[in-house]
Structure 1
Amino acid sequence: MTTSDKLLLTIIMALITFVPATAQYKLVWADEFDYDGAPDPNVWQPEKGFVRNHEDQWYQGENAYCKGGYLIIEAKKERIKNPNYKPGSNNWKESREYAEYTSASIITRGRKSFRYGRCEMRAKIDTRQGLWPAFWTLGEKGEWPDNGEIDIMEFYRGMLLANLAWGSNERYKPVWNTNRKLISTFNDPGWSSRFHIWRMDWDENSIKIYVDDTLMASQEQSKAVNAKNKDITPFKQPHYLLLGMALGGDNGGDLSGTDFPARFEVDYVRVYQKQ
């Protein structure tokens, strides 16, 4: 082998050795939101009405729209009559005659799901009191929480959260891996005014969640097994995506001092698979 051949081999081996981790992945799907109007109906469907967590908002599709290269989920203070209202009902979805706020949650259930890989979102979130933006996934099979929940990004009451949930021995009672980080600990007064990248790396062995390359949560697959419903594998099945901004409810907090509208702005959502 000549000296030049050895040099060439050394360069090739160095390139192989220092290939970045992202080169392991291939982009398999993305929504760049580079169109105007409603989110792509072939991918996203809007949730409607009062949905979960005793939240204050009425979900409606018109509060999610694409403009200027972004998906905008806009929460408004406006009164909407509840068509499901029943005087005297003990069901929170029926006991309120009106919703005082509107917002949107769009999901890919039945249209787009994936198992394993890297899921990434670049977004800017409003971190004022009472707001509850989230980017999360749910498993296709099984009732909650046996189907598995992954909260890639969740915010309320000054905290970023990255959580995972699966089934316990009791129906509808999850086992949580909950991780919180106060926005104030970033020591960046302008943090909420900028875009950030949330990422989930997920394979058959573990799930890791990051914000701007800072690890927020880690979960070993071997320890995330439903205690009772073992026929459902919460994190070894396909999951679909949810993007939305809730208001108030069980965790969001007091909305009375917050001015509206409020926006959750998403630059893109991308899904990669290992080659």
Structure 2
Amino acid sequence: MRQRVTTTGRTWMSLFCTAALFTAAGVAAAEDLVLPAGNILSNPSFETNLTGWSTWQGTLARVSHASAPDGAYVVRVTRSAGDAYSLDDAPDAVASTTVGTVYRAQVFIAASNAGTVGKPVVLAVRERNGAGTSVGYAESPEVGLTMAFQQLTVETTVQQTGNTLDVYVLQSNATAGNAFLVDALTLAVVPPPTPGEPSQLLWSDEFDGLAGTLPNPQVWEPVTGGMWDNGRTIQQYTARPQNVQHDGSGHLKIIARRETYTGADGVTRDYTSARIHSKGRMERQYGYVEVRLKAPTGLGTWPAAWMMGSTGEWPANGEFDIFEGEGPLPTLAHGTIHAPGIAYGWGPPGQVDYAPARVGDAWRTFGIFWNANRVEWYADRIKRFTFPRGTTGTWVFDQPNHLLLNLALGDLGGDPTNTVFPQVLEVDYVRWYANAPSN
């Protein structure tokens, strides 16, 4: 987390790495861009007055300008105190947010005098809750002011429903006499991308077996016992159809039950479930793996669809989490990658919030694409993050991977004591394509 702090004590938080807020930003000359439609901001170009705008540690004046990007007038923001000052929307641009909505803000800015040339400026969008606490922040790349107008752009993704969103332009390193010009401020909703279609199917399991039968033994092997989690989860994995079976309608069900059971490892536990993998039976290197599933959201559940490299021990063999859910956060779905020095994606950007719906309220589709150069995570066939090779840590993903499906209990899933059982992870299919969805 990086903070922008002035000597006056006002703080701006930029969550580039820990939140999926800063998704795109840029700078361009005024003559290169056309103002977008659907502007939420009122009075964006100051043609008649300054209604809808205020300032922090500055003064505002509406002035004519021969090079105004939109119309004939701009607003001049002049420093009055401190080492930073800003132009702020008033009131907030968005009075009540909806989680997951993406907004794009843009503005044209220029120095008002030679003494302000080179001073740093950003366009910022801030999300605050009812208590006024900042819960999300995004800013454009910082640029030096010039006498010619430049356009700044930033995108932000709303983190919570019911918050406010405000927009401001901030100049820092300010000194006496500094002033900057602003015109054509816009804030608009970015339409969601259209889900793409993966191509060149290489392999699939559609789970078309007879009701009550175990998954195809030529592909899947049940893994039994308490597993390698150092006792953090509390289920006993079994190979019984009571815990993993076809439903006869084209789905595989992994069923967690509250029952006392002593497993092959000699450990007696109070819950049973299943974990299956395809190691040594169905392994591939590179491509796009997609799972369509309906996940349980009861407290205590920790469902997952994932992959691991088939040679070596964790984390040196690498891990792709196509989907993980966790009982305490039933609206969230996660996608992550793990390797030595790499734990990327838990939380934004590897997170989708379906609030107010729960993950398990509908069938969801999740996928991982990887090749020698990058890893991509998809939710609902929309790309949510890209992890390029060389970003950090040790790249260990150039080997065949096998598939895993399981429903754990406890640990990240929480305490299942008061949860109604059985809890079920339903899987419609697992498919392996050569190419990921394009969007």
- What is the TM-score of this pair, normalised by structure 1? 0.77
Which whole-Å deviations, capped at 9, do the CAs of 1:146-177 have from their partners, x for residues lacking one?
A: 10011010111313221111114xxxxxx311
Tell me the residue number matched to 2:361: 193
CA drift at 1:252: 1.9
Give 2:337's aligned residue.
Answer: 164
Residue 184 and residue 221 in structure 1: after superposition, are their counterparts in 2 closer, same or farther (change >3 A)?
Answer: closer
Secondary structure class of the residue paired with 1:49:
coil
Please give the residue correspondences for 1:55-134 in structure 2 after superposition, counting only pairs within 5 Å.
Answer: 55-62=233-240, 63-67=243-247, 68-82=249-263, 84-85=265-266, 97-134=267-304
**Aligned pair in 2 of structure 1 residues 235, 258: CA closer, same or farther (>3 Å)?**
same
Distance in 2 between residues matched to 1:84 and 1:107, nearest whole Å:
18
Q: Aligned partners of 2:235, 2:339: CA distance in 1, in Å?
A: 26
Tell me the TM-score normalized by structure 2: 0.49
Contact 1:179 1:217 in 2 (8 A): no
User: Is this contact kept in 2: 1:179–1:216, CA < 8 A?
Assistant: no
- What do residues 172-193 of structure 1 show as CA deviations (whole Å, max 9, x unaligned)? xxx3113326999423436422
Return the alpha-carbon distance in structure 2 between the equivalents of residues 255 and 214 of structure 1: 32
Deviations 1:216-248 (A, max 9, x none): 44211223553xxxxxx5211111000010000
Higher relative contact order (CA 8 A, sep 6+): 1
- C-alpha contact 1:148 1:166 (8 A) present in aligned 2: yes
1:39 matched to 2:215? yes
8 Å contact from structure 1 (residues 57, 103) kept in 2: yes
> Corresponding residue for 2:426?
265
Report which of the two has the higher share of helix: 1
The secondary structure found in structure 2 opposite 1:192 is helix
One-letter identity of the residue aligned with 1:154: E
Query: 1:83: how far off?
Result: 5.3
1:196-207 aligned within 5 A: 196-207=364-375
Ranges in structure 1 where 5+ consecutive residues have no aligned partner: 1-19, 86-96, 169-174, 227-232
Counterpart for residue 27 of structure 1: 201
Verify the 8 A CA contact 2:237 2:263 in the aligned structure 1.
no
Structure 2 equivalent of residue 176 of structure 1 = 343
Rounded Cα–Cα distance in structure 2 between residues aligned with 1:224 and 1:43 = 34
Query: Which amino acid in the other structure matches residue 415 of structure 2?
Result: D
Per-residue deviation, 1:82: 4.6
Q: Would the aligned equivalents of 2:407 and 2:425 in 1 still touch at CA under 8 Å?
A: yes
Q: CA deviation at 1:52?
A: 2.6
Separation (CA, whole Å) in 2 of partners of 1:214 and 1:180? 17
> Take 1:82 and 1:66, find their aligned partners in 2: how far apart are those partners?
22
224 and 114 in structure 1: CA distance in 2 versus 1, 3 angstrom threshold: farther
Q: Write the distance in 2 (CA, Å) between the matches of 1:113 and 1:184.
A: 28
SS in 2 for 1:242: strand
| SS of aligned partner of 2:390 | helix
The one of 203, 206, 222 aligned to 2:390: 222
Cα root mean square deviation, aligned? 2.3
Equivalent pair of 1:131/1:252 in contact (CA under 8 Å): yes
Q: Percent identity?
A: 33
Quote how far apart the aligned CAs of 1:145 are.
0.1
Q: Residues 40-59 of structure 1: CA distance to partner in whole angstroms, max 9, x if unpaired?
A: 00000000010032211110
2-side partners of 1:140 and 1:133: how far apart? 21
Structure 2: tracts of 5 or more residues without a match = 1-194
Task: Choose 48-57 or 146-155, whichever is displaced more.
Answer: 48-57
1:237 aligned to 399, 402, 407, which one? 399
SS for the counterpart of 2:345 is strand
Q: Which residue of 2 aligns with 1:5?
A: none
